Structure 1
Amino acid sequence: MTPTAATLLCQLARQNDAMQAAGMVNLLTGATIVTDENAIRLVFKKQTGKAKLTHLEIAYNEGTDLYDLKAHRMNKRTFECPEVWALGGVYAEDLKAAVEEVTGLYFTMR
C-alpha cells in the first residue's frame, strides 16, 4: 500500500493506522478495498446508496491537495460500469461526510 493510499484510508476511517482503517472500512461496509498509487476503490457486494452504486473511487489530486470522488454502477448483463455520480475538490475533513452521504453507509463507529 502506498503512503498516499494509507493516508487516504486513515482520513476516511479516522484511524491512526492504515491497517486498522482498512479493517474498519471492510467491517462496516463489507466493501473490498483496491488500492492504487494515488487512489483507493471500494467495491461493494450489493448496490448501495441512493444512486445504487457498486464501485466508489476516491483519488488524491496532488495539484490541488484535494480529493476527487467518482461512483460507478456495474451492469451485471453487459459488465459496463458507467459513472453515476462525481464530486471533485473535497477537503480531507469533509471526505468522510461526502462518502457517507453518497453510499448511505457509516465508515466509523463514532
Structure 2
Amino acid sequence: MVSSTEGTAKASVSLKGPLLRYRVLAYATGVALLCLTAAFILKYAADSPGMMSWAGVTHGVFYMVYLVMAVDLALKARWSIKGTILVLLAGTIPFLSFVAERAVTHRVQEGRKL
C-alpha cells in the first residue's frame, strides 16, 4: 500500500515542471499587465501613447501562453472547473496574478486541489 504522504510526494514531483512553467508565466503576465496599466495611465493622463504600442502586445502574448500553462497545470493537478477559471482570470486584473500564483503554488506543493 502507498501511504498518503508518499502519494502526495509523487504527485508534487510529477507537477514540478508544469508548476514552474505556470509560475514563470504568472509573473511575466503580472509584470506585463502592470506595464500595460502604466501605459494606459500615461496615455490618458499625460497624452503619451508611446508605451501602448508594445505593452499591449507584450501582455497579450504572455497572457495567451499563461492560459496554456495554467490549463496544463490544471489538467495535471485535476483542478475543478471553477478553480481553473478563477486562475485563468487572474491574469486580467493587476496584481492578482501574483496572489493567485502564491495560492496555486502552496496548494500544489501541499497536494491539495483547487
Is the TM value for this pair above 0.5?
A: no
Normalising by the residue count of structure 2, what TM-score does the alignment of the two structures yield? 0.28
Normalising by the residue count of structure 1, what TM-score does the alignment of the two structures yield? 0.28
- Larger helix fraction of residues: 2
- Larger strand fraction of residues: 1
Larger RCO (CA within 8 A; separation ≥ 6) = 2
